[in-house]
Amino acid sequence: MTTTTDTRQLRLTITVHGRPAPQGSKKYAGHRRNAASGRISAVLVEQSKRVKPWRALVTAATTHALTAEHSGHVPAHAPPLDGPLEAEIVFTVRKPASAPKRRRTWPTTRDSGDIDKLLRSTFDGIADAAAVVDDSRIIRVTATKTFPGEHPEALDQPGAVIRLYTLTETPT
C-alpha cells in the first residue's frame, strides 16, 4: 500500500486593511414579486451594515495582490486558483478601550465577530475578485482572531493577512 502526504505551495498573499465584518444572519425586509416568474418571495437583507464594505476591501486587496508584480506568487492576470486549496488567515480586530493594555487579552467578545462568519465574508470577497474558481475549493482553513500587536502576524490596525495555498498529493 502506498501512502501519500499533502504538499502545499503558497500561491497568493493578501493583506487587507479595514475592520473585519462577519457575514451571517439575515433579517426579513418584506416581500416582492419576481417580474419574470410572478412568484412572491421574501426579501432577506444582511443584518450587519459592515459586511458590504469589508467584502469590498477584501475584493480590492485580492485584485491588487493578483495584479501586483511584487507578489511573486501569481503572475498578473493568472487564471483563478482551482483544485483543493488551503487558507491561512489572521484577522486583526479592534481592541476595546476597556481591555488591559499591558497584558495579552483574547478577542472573545461579540463585537470581535464569530470566526466562522468572518471567514464567510472574507471568502466571498476573495471569490468576488476571481482569485479562486469558487470558495468551495478551500478545503482546509487555519484562522486566528487577534488584537494588534498580540500575535506574530497581527497587523498594527484592524484587517487580515490571508495566504492561499494549492494542495497536491505526493506519494511517500
- The pTM of the full predicted model, rounded to 2 decimals, is 0.78
The CATH number for 52's domain is 3.30.1330.70
Side-chain-facing half-sphere of 112: CA atoms under 13 Å: 19
The pLDDT of residue 138 is: 95
Q: Which residues pair with 15 in a beta bridge?
A: 161
Domain tally for the chain?
1
The residue type of 55 is R
One-letter amino acid of 54: W
For residues 6 and 52, which has the higher predicted lDDT (pLDDT)? 52
The closest of 140, 155, 161 to 12, measured between CA atoms, is: 161
For residue 2, name the pLDDT band (cuts at 50, 70, 90). Answer: low
Residue 70: what pLDDT?
47
Neighbours of 64 (CB within 10 A): 14
Residue 138's φ and ψ, nearest 5 degrees, are: -80, 110
Q: Decide if pLDDT at 10 tops 70.
A: yes
pLDDT per residue over 112-153, tens digit each? 678 999 999 999 999 999 999 999 999 999 999 998 988 999
Rounded to 10 degrees, what is the CA torsion of 96, 13, 49, 22? -70
Does residue 95 or residue 1 have the better pLDDT? 95
Mean per-residue pLDDT over the chain, rounded: 84
| C-alpha span between 61 and 45 (Å, rounded) | 25
Q: What is the pLDDT of residue 139?
A: 94
- pLDDT tens per residue across span 62-115: 999 988 754 455 455 578 999 999 999 999 999 887 777 777 777 777 676 789
What does DSSP assign to residue 163?
E
How far apart, in whole angstroms, are the C-alpha atoms of residue 88 and residue 57? 18
- Tell me if 85 sits within 8 A of 137, measured CB to CB: yes
What is the extent of the structural domain holding 96?
4-171
Specify whether the CB–CB gap between 51 and 21 falls below 8 A.
Answer: yes
